[in-house]
Amino acid sequence: MEEPLVSVILPCFNAEKYLNDAIESIVNQTYLNIEILIIDDGSEDNSEAIYSTWIKKDSRIIIYKNENNIGLIKSLNKGIELANGEFIARMDADDISIKHRFKEQVSYLKNNHHISVLGTKAQIIDQHGKRLSRHNNTIYFNPSTLKFSSYFTQPLIHGSILARSSVLKNNKYDLDFKYSEDFELWLRLNSKNIEIANLPFVLYLYRINPNSVSNQNNLNQVKAHNKVSKLYIEKLLNKEVKHQLIELVNNRPSEAFHFKSLKDSLSLFNEIFKYQQIIMTTELKQYIIHHSIDICLQALKVTKGKPIMYKICLVILPFIFKKEGIKYLMKKVIK
């Protein structure tokens, strides 16, 4: 019996520096039944020459050239519309997929029909492809933690995902959320009780590139992230929430604030947990402790530690959570 087809969407724009490595990592997958949809969004560099060479080597590669530069979101949605596979995979033009990525992901989705989108753990690489010692450790694997944390942090590493085609074709990326299209999509799926998950091992290499779109648009991404978070937290709680509290609960405050706002943000954090009616697990408890402490640490950073009440809060909070809080706080301080 033939394995289900995986459609790999690889958008590129002036990606000549790393494009060859990205394509090679997909072509060399141990899972063979794939189609590779390269969406060239008007590249003006040597990208065309690179993927043209690969077309001659591998008939699974299909090129779609946009007449004009239409942007990432429209290119992604175009790829979703063109995809023929039972599953759709994302792939960024400057990253690398480990060769058994699709084999592991397809196997998991075939055996877990309740999961619709599956990400993986990732390791960070530098401009030269060298693996750095740290992993991208902002993702979670326990269903309760993943569901709760998705309101504050990216629950999935977007380039690592494999999704059921039917889900993405009915839930495309929203053009109104430039710089946070992935985050908005995952929260939209979450609000529809469409389940996502992560595999707890590295199947994706995420490149830290100072010239990447992500780095150039960091401030815009923070603003867009807070906008999406506010939208879906308000939908969950069915009430308006102050923008400043959203910034705090996301550990992204833009200015100094009163101690009451800090208290209110921690209360909001707990309220979101209660509304979701999810099961408390060891990992989720640890996440709540760590995130609460991070909120206080960020408060100190923004206010430069001047208000004494922030210091009191920072001292008291770890003791409320006892050993786990103290251990985490010491780790952050030593850093």
Among 172, 200, 216, where does a domain finish? Answer: 216
Are 86 and 212 found together in one domain?
yes
Are 247 and 205 found together in one domain?
no
Are 246 and 212 found together in one domain?
no
Q: What average pLDDT score do residues 278-291 get?
A: 82
- Is 77 a residue whose pLDDT tops 80? yes
- 44 HSE (CA, 13 A, CB side): 2
Task: Examine residue 230 and state whether it is found in any structural domain, yes or no.
Answer: no
Give the per-residue pLDDT at 217.
Answer: 65
Contacts with 141 (C-beta within 8 Å, 6 or more apart), sequence order? 197, 198, 199, 200, 283
Work out whether the CA dihedral 113, 77, 224, 136 comes out positive or negative: positive
Are 43 and 162 found together in one domain?
yes
More confident residue, 243 or 89: 89
Q: Which one-letter DSSP state was computed for residue 277?
A: T
Strands (E), the chain: 6-12, 34-40, 61-65, 87-90, 96-97, 115-125, 131-136, 162-164, 195-207
As a whole number of angstroms, the distance between CA 148 and CA 108 comes to 22
Task: Examine residue 163 and state whether it is found in any structural domain, yes or no.
Answer: yes
Are 159 and 20 found together in one domain?
yes
Are 312 and 209 found together in one domain?
no
Q: What average pLDDT score do residues 31-53 get?
A: 98
Give the per-residue pLDDT at 328.
Answer: 57
More confident residue, 259 or 28: 28
- Is 303 a residue whose pLDDT tops 70? no
Nearest to 74 by CA among 33, 39, 101, 50: 39
Task: Examine residue 231 and state whether it is found in any structural domain, yes or no.
Answer: no
Task: Examine residue 261 and state whether it is found in any structural domain, yes or no.
Answer: yes
Which of 31-35, 253-257, 290-294 bottoms out in mean pLDDT, i.e. has the lowest? 253-257
Task: Examine residue 42 and state whether it is found in any structural domain, yes or no.
Answer: yes
CATH of the domain at 197: 3.90.550.10
Among 216, 231, 258, where does a domain finish? Answer: 216
Share of the chain above pLDDT 90, in %: 60
Are 46 and 131 found together in one domain?
yes
Give the per-residue pLDDT at 64.
Answer: 98
Task: Examine residue 11 and state whether it is found in any structural domain, yes or no.
Answer: yes
Are 34 and 130 found together in one domain?
yes
- Is 209 a residue whose pLDDT tops 60? yes
Q: How far is CA 64 from CA 37, 172, 194, 205, 257, in A?
A: 7, 19, 30, 25, 49
Tell me the sheet residues that pair with 162. Answer: 89, 118
Q: Which amino acid is at 162?
A: L
CB-based contact 196:156 (threshold 8 Å): yes
State the pTM of this model: 0.89
Residue 179 has phi, psi (to 5 degrees) of 80, -10
Range of the domain at 256: 241-334
Q: For residue 83, name the pLDDT band (cuts at 50, 70, 90).
A: very high
Which of 8-12, 183-187, 191-195, 276-280 bottoms out in mean pLDDT, i.e. has the lowest? 276-280
Q: Which amino acid is at 51?
A: Y
Neighbours of 104 (CB within 10 A): 18
pLDDT, tens digit, 9 for 90 and up, residues 16-37: 999 999 999 999 999 999 999 9
Are 132 and 17 found together in one domain?
yes
- Is 157 a residue whose pLDDT tops 70? yes
Are 207 and 246 found together in one domain?
no
Give the per-residue pLDDT at 304.
Answer: 59
As a whole number of angstroms, the distance between CA 7 and CA 162 comes to 9
Task: Examine residue 94 and state whether it is found in any structural domain, yes or no.
Answer: yes
Contacts with 12 (C-beta within 8 Å, 6 or more apart), sequence order? 19, 38, 39, 40, 41, 43, 47, 51, 93
Are 65 and 193 found together in one domain?
yes
Among 167, 183, 216, where does a domain finish? Answer: 216
More confident residue, 280 or 174: 174
Task: Examine residue 278 and state whether it is found in any structural domain, yes or no.
Answer: yes
- Looking up tokens 């923070």 gives 222
Share of the chain above pLDDT 70, in %: 82
Are 15 and 96 found together in one domain?
yes
More confident residue, 209 or 35: 35
Into how many domains does the chain fold? 2
